[in-house]
């Protein structure tokens, strides 16, 4: 009777899970990327490419079973954004393509999907608001990295629940 009680209270709990470490690492890199993109309208390779390498390295060390998912997320982020860049006549920057790869590497394919969905909806809402109040015109170039960062934060918090909900509805 008391054995199970003591085993619960005496069992050490990890302070940080591998997922939490990867999410925190992504956000520590994503915030400076957003600041630079807002100020200079560019995403520095040292942060996006270097961050991708760092996140993949952390993932390989911390969660070997999830490393394939990280690679698939990176591939999804790169391929999808490269396709958008190509189809849009290069209106999406290379920095955003590389940042998308970082987000995919950190969050995996499902997390990347939810991050991009949230970023796109938020970006459209802000652009629509700015356009409605005549703060920008139809030719304005709006930095996308801050929206990707907000989407990544949203995904880090809610992706698992949203994916489960979506699969539960579809199944």
Residues 6-23 pLDDT 10s: 444 454 556 678 889 999
pLDDT value of residue 46: 97
Instruction: Answer for the pair 106, 70: CB distance below 8 angstroms, yes or no.
Output: yes
Produce one character per residue of 7-33: b if its CB has 16 or more CB atoms within 10 Å, e if not. Answer: eeeeeeeeeeebbebbbebbeebbeeb
Return the structure tokens found at 15.
């302070």
Using CA atoms, how far apart are residues 115 and 117, in angstroms rounded to an integer? 6
Q: 36 pLDDT exceeds 90?
A: yes
Question: Does residue 138 belong to any structural domain of this protein?
Answer: yes
Question: Does residue 4 belong to any structural domain of this protein?
Answer: no
Question: Does residue 7 belong to any structural domain of this protein?
Answer: no
Question: Does residue 46 belong to any structural domain of this protein?
Answer: yes
pLDDT in tens, 80-139: 999 999 999 998 999 999 999 999 999 999 999 999 999 999 999 999 999 999 888 888
Question: Does residue 24 belong to any structural domain of this protein?
Answer: yes
Question: Does residue 6 belong to any structural domain of this protein?
Answer: no
pLDDT value of residue 14: 61
pLDDT value of residue 170: 57
* Mean pLDDT over each residue of the chain, to the nearest integer: 89
Using CA atoms, how far apart are residues 117 and 96, in angstroms rounded to an integer? 15
Return the structure tokens found at 144.
């996308």
Number of domains in the chain: 1
pLDDT value of residue 7: 45
Q: What is the mean pLDDT of residues 26-44?
A: 97
Q: Where is average pLDDT lowest: 32-41, 44-53, 58-67, 107-116?
A: 58-67
State the residue range of the domain holding 139. Answer: 16-170
Q: Which residue has the higher pLDDT, 169 or 46?
A: 46
Q: Both ends of the chain: CA-CA distance in Å?
A: 41
Question: Does residue 97 belong to any structural domain of this protein?
Answer: yes
Q: What is the mean pLDDT of residues 61-79?
A: 91
Instruction: Answer for the pair 98, 139: CB distance below 8 angstroms, yes or no.
Output: no
């Amino acid at each position: 009777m008391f054995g199970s009680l003591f085993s619960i209270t005496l069992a050490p709990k990890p302070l940080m899970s591998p997922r939490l470490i990867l999410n925190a690492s992504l956000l520590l890199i994503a915030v400076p990327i957003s600041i630079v993109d807002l100020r200079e309208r560019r995403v520095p390779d040292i942060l996006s490419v270097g961050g991708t390498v760092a996140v993949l390295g952390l993932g390989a060390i911390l969660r070997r079973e999830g490393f394939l998912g990280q690679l698939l997320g990176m591939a999804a982020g790169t391929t999808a954004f490269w396709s958008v860049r190509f189809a849009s006549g290069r209106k999406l920057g290379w920095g955003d393509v590389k940042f998308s790869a970082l987000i995919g590497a950190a969050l995996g394919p499902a997390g990347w999907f939810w991050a991009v969905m949230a970023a796109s909806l938020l970006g459209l809402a802000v652009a629509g608001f700015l356009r409605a109040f005549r703060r920008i015109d139809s030719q304005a170039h709006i930095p996308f990295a801050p929206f990707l960062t907000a989407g990544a934060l949203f995904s880090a918090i809610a992706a698992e629940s949203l994916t489960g909900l979506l699969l539960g509805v579809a199944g």
